Amino acid sequence: MKNGILSNAILSCFGILMPKPAKNGILSNAILRFSCFGILMPKPASCALLLCMAAVLIPGTSYAKTPPDEQYANISPLPGGGTAINSDGESDGLGAMQINIPVAYTPGAGYANLGLYEGGYFDKDRGNGSGVYGMGFGTWPRLYVSGMAVSSIIFSDSKVFNAQFQFVKETDSTPALAIGAQDILNKEGADNKATTNTGIGYYGVATKRFKIGERDVYGVLGYGAGKFADSIFGGVSTPLSDKFTFTTEYDGYQFNTGLAWRPTGRKSPVTVLAAYDGQTGPLVGAQVTGNISGWWAIPVILLSLRN
pLDDT at 279: 83
CB 176 within 8 A of CB 15: no
Share of the chain above pLDDT 90, in %: 41
pLDDT at 35: 36
Q: How many CB atoms lie within 10 A of CB 180?
A: 26
- Residue 64: pLDDT band (50, 70, 90) is very low
Residue 29 has pLDDT above 80, yes or no: no
What does the alpha-carbon distance between residue 206 and residue 211 come to, in Å, rounded to a whole number? 17
pLDDT at 73: 81
Exposure string for 205-219, b = 16+ CB within 10 A, e = fewer: bbbbbbbbeeeebbb
Domain residue extents for the chain: 4-57, 70-305
What does the alpha-carbon distance between residue 166 and residue 179 come to, in Å, rounded to a whole number? 7
CB 117 within 8 A of CB 284: yes
CATH code of the domain occupying 70-305: 2.40.160.40
In 3D space, the residue among 12, 119, 121 whose CA is nearest the CA of residue 57 turns out to be: 12
